[in-house]
Chain A
Amino acid sequence: MRSPLRASAAIAAVILAMGPACRRAPAPSPDVVALRVTALPDSPADAAWGEAPEHLAKLIPQDLVEPRLMTPSTGEVRVRALTDGARVAFRLEWADASRNDRPGPSQMVDACAVQIPQKLETEPPAPQMGEAGKLVDVTYWRADWQASVDGRGDTIRDLYPNAAIDHYPFDAQSLEKGSPEQAEMAKRYAPARALGNARSGPRATPVEDLVASGPSTLTRVEPQGSRGKGVFGQAGWSVVIVRAWPKEVVEGRRTNIAFAVWQGDRNEVGARKMRTGWIPLLARAAQ
Chain B
Amino acid sequence: MARVYNWQLGREMSYWYPESRPKRQFAAVFDTNKCIACQTCTLACKTTWTSGKGQEYMLWNNVESKPYGSYPLAYDVKLLDMLEGQRWEGSTYAGQTIFESAPAGERVLGWRPEEQDYSYPNVGEDDCAGQVDHGAVIQIPHMSWFFYLARICNHCTYPACLSSCPRGSIYKRQEDGIVLVDQNRCRGYQECVRACPYKKVFFNPMTGTSEKCIACYPKIEQGIQPQCFVNCIGKIRMAGFISAPDQARADNPIDYLVHIKKVALPLFPQYGLEPNVYYVPPVHAPVAFNEQLFGPGAGAAMKAYQNAPNDMDLAGLLCLFGSTEAMVAKWRRQGEQIYGFDEKGGELIRVPLREPVHIRPGFDQRLQIIRTNCP
Give chain A's interface residues, CB within 8 Å of chain B.
63, 65-70, 102-108, 144, 154-156, 159, 163, 165, 168-170, 186, 188-201, 215-216, 218, 267, 269-271
Contacts and interface: CB of A to CB of B under 8 A. Distances in A.
A106 B207 CA distance: 15
A243 B184 CA distance: 24
Given A66-B106, A66-B107, A103 B188 contact: yes
Contacts of A69: 105
Interface in B254-288: none
B166 A189 contact: no
Contact of B54 (A66, A156, A194): A156
Contacts of B115: 104-107
Given A103-B203, A163-B56, A201-B206, 4 more contacts: A105-B203, A192-B204, A199-B186, A269-B188
B52 A189 contact: yes
B351 to A, nearest CB: 36
Given A106-B112, A197-B183, A271-B166, A192 B189 contact: no
Which of B183, B208, B211 has most A Cβ within 10 Å?
B208
A83 B162 CA distance: 42
Contacts of A163: 56
A104 B205 contact: yes
B166 A191 contact: no
Contacts of B227: none
Interface string B26-43: 000000000000000000
Contacts of B105: 63, 66-70
Contacts of A194: 183
B106 to A, nearest CB: 6
A200 B208 contact: yes
B118 interface: yes
Given A199-B187, A199-B208, A269-B189, A67 B52 contact: no
A156 B183 contact: no
A101 B185 CA distance: 22
B71 interface: no
Q: Nearest 9 pairs between A and B by C-beta?
A: A199-B208, A189-B52, A200-B208, A68-B105, A270-B189, A192-B207, A192-B209, A191-B183, A195-B184
Interface string B199-239: 00011111111010000000000000000000000000000
Contact of B167 (A196, A216, A267): A216
Nearest to A103: B205
A214 to B, nearest CB: 12
Contact of B206 (A106, A200, A267, A271): A200
Interface in B109-135: 112-115, 118
Classify chain B: how many residues form its interface, as a range. 35 or more
Contact of B184 (A63, A107, A170, A197): A197
A165 B202 contact: no
Q: Mostly helix, strand, loop or mixed at chain B's interface? A: loop
20 contacts: A65-B166, A66-B105, A67-B191, A68-B105, A103-B205, A105-B112, A107-B205, A156-B56, A156-B205, A159-B205, A165-B56, A186-B53, A190-B54, A192-B186, A196-B184, A197-B207, A197-B209, A199-B188, A200-B207, A216-B167
B164 interface: yes
B166 A216 contact: yes
B115 to A, nearest CB: 5
B166 A105 contact: no
Contacts of A193: 207
B104 A70 contact: yes
Nearest to A62: B105
A24 to B, nearest CB: 41
Contacts of A104: 115, 203, 205
B168 interface: yes
A168 to B, nearest CB: 6
B69 to A, nearest CB: 20
A170 B52 CA distance: 8
A51 to B, nearest CB: 36
Contact of A154 (B52, B113, B206): B206
A252 B207 CA distance: 44
Contact of A67 (B54, B166, B168, B193): B166
A190 to B, nearest CB: 5
Contacts of B204: 190, 192, 200
Contact of B166 (A102, A198, A215): A215
